[in-house]
Amino acid sequence: MAKRIEATNVTAYYGAFKAIENINLTVEPKTVTALIGPSGCGKSTFLRSINRMHEVLPGARVEGSLTIDNQDIYDRDVDVTAVRRMIGMVFQRPNPFPTMSIFENVVAGLRLNGVKKKSILEEAAEKALRSANLWDEVKDRLGKPGAGLSGGQQQRLCIARTIAVEPQVVLMDEPCSALDPISTLAIEDLMFQLKDKFTIIIVTHNMQQAARVSDRTAFFSIEKTGDPGRLIEYDNTQKIFSNPSVKKTEDYITGRFG
């Protein structure tokens, strides 16, 4: 089910601007990997290049190789939608589809990919909502608009929507940055449960969160504004937070950064 991701010399550009350079990193299946680092260091860019979301922006491109179970996702004959079906993504801000109800939002991925049978959709919706710890809160109002939920509920709705299509990897781009501590806790609990089935990569600015939820941590940084982001250190989370081998990492996680 869950897949291993290998990045080799990944370099990403926005037009002429080089955002990240030569990222080498391997993510093991069924683990949570946290990407940390200062703003603008390319964590999100790297995350978005894993499911080929980076190239959605005009002028953006990726070099190097990114493989998922030894298939290069940047191969010429790779179908982008297939990659994205395999690698789901949760965004920083909850983005439920405003014209759809809660139910329709959850099954949007299935329905828009051709699943029509009502019983299958209902079953998948309940399963996804239960996994996202949202079922009890919304089961009586599945027909109501998804945009009417609170911020934390919307984010869990977006997670439910992502896992409803049963991807093998889930990317999360600061999924809790707009949420209160209680919703954050709910989503962190969720990550623990999801780890059994999915490979999770999460970008976060919250050190405690990275320490709590992740098995491995990657620290990204830049020399100065305008320079490309680089991977400074990648190791077991415990090691990174207790005994990092690079001085820069230690400075960052202890708050003595620049």
Partner 1 sequence: MTTTVTSHRPQPPAQPVTLRAKRLPAYAAPAVAVVALLVAAGIVYGAGIGGPVLVVVLGALLYLAGLYAAANAVEGRRSARNRTWSALIHSAFVLAVLPLASVVWTLVSKGAERLDGNFFLTSMNNIGARDANGGAYHAIVGTLEQVGIAALITVPLGVLCAIYVVEYGRGRFAFTIRFFVDVMTGIPSIVTGLFVLAFWVLIVSPFFNDGRPGFSGFAAALALSVLMLPTVVRSSEEMLRLVPAPLREGAYALGVPKWKTVLRVVLPTALPGIVTGIMLAIARAAGETAPVLLVAGGGAAINFNPFENNQSSLALFVYQQAGEASKYSPARAWTAALTLVALVLILTVAAKLLARRNRLGR
Q: What's the min distance (Å) between Cβ of 88 and partner 1?
A: 6
Strand order in the sheet with 17-27: 17-27, 5-14, 60-68, 71-72
Span of 2-10, 75-83, 198-206, 246-254 interacting with partner 1 by CB under 8 A: 75-83
Does position 15 interact with partner 1 (CB under 8 A)? The reply is no
Local structure of 109: helix, strand or coil? helix
Residue 53 interacting with partner 1 (CB under 8 A): yes
Shortest distance (Å) from residue 148 CB to partner 1: 6
Residue 148 interacting with partner 1 (CB under 8 A): yes
Q: Which of residues 153-212 bind partner 1 (CB under 8 A)?
A: 158, 161-162, 165, 167
Query: Which of helix, strand or coil describes residue 9?
Result: strand
**Closer to partner 1 by Cβ: residue 143 or 181:** 143
Tell me the HSE value of 25 on the side-chain side, using a 13 A CA sphere: 26
For 40, other C-beta atoms within 10 Å of its C-beta total: 16
Provide the sign of the torsion angle of the four alpha carbons 8, 168, 83, 201, taken in this order. Answer: negative
- What are 14's strand-pairing partners? 17, 60
Residues that bind partner 1 (CB under 8 A): 51, 53, 56, 58, 81-86, 88-89, 91, 93, 95-101, 108-109, 112-113, 143-145, 148, 158, 161-162, 165, 167
